[in-house]
Amino acid sequence: MRTQGRKNVHGKGGVRFKAAFTPSKYKAMLRNLVTELIANEKVEVTLPVAKDLSALADKMVTFGKKGDLHARRLAAQKLRNVVVDKNGTTALKKLFDDIAKRYENRNGGYTRVLKTECRRGDNAQMALVSFVA
């Protein structure tokens, strides 16, 4: 039996819209957010994104604590090459020089996720991701 109406990409009938995020778009968004988190040391996102971002940021700090060339290249695959201050410091350099030194005696748990109020437009639960002191 054939369906009427609009069809999505796969030819299924009755579906109005495609999914908004593909996995590649989601990974790109996480790359942007972890770079912004390292640059600004806090970022406000929705709660599910905050949980994924916290895990990725902890992994980046672990790479920074290792400090060898292989860890630097693995971290460079995830971080964007952006300048974070007037001196020309990149996010990768800040991660390895400043943030990793801060947590050299800590075994995990480098970020915290604090729930904030719901977003006004769609009532999504928001959260603030930041590095612990």
**CA–CA distance from 83 to each of 5, 30, 39, 106 (Å)?**
49, 18, 8, 27
The secondary structure of 61-94, three-state, reads HHHHHHCCHHHHHHHHHHCCCCECCCCCCEHHHH
Residue 10 lies inside a defined structural domain of this protein: no
The answer to whether residues 78 and 116 touch, using CB atoms and an 8 Å cutoff, is no
Query: Does residue 125 lie in a domain region?
Result: yes
Query: What pTM did the predictor assign?
Result: 0.83
For residue 47, pLDDT beyond 90: yes
pLDDT in tens, 54-86: 999 999 999 999 999 999 999 999 999 999 999
Structural domain that includes position 103: 23-131
SS3 98: helix
Residue with the two structure tokens 């709660």: 47
The pLDDT score that the predictor gives to residue 11 is 62
- In the predicted structure, residue 129 carries a pLDDT above the cut 70: yes
d(CA 56, CA 59): 5
Q: Over the chain, what is the mean pLDDT?
A: 90
Terminal Cα distance for the chain, rounded: 62
CATH of the domain at 48: 3.90.1030.10
Split into its structural domains, the chain has a count of 1
Q: Which pLDDT value is given to residue 21?
A: 74
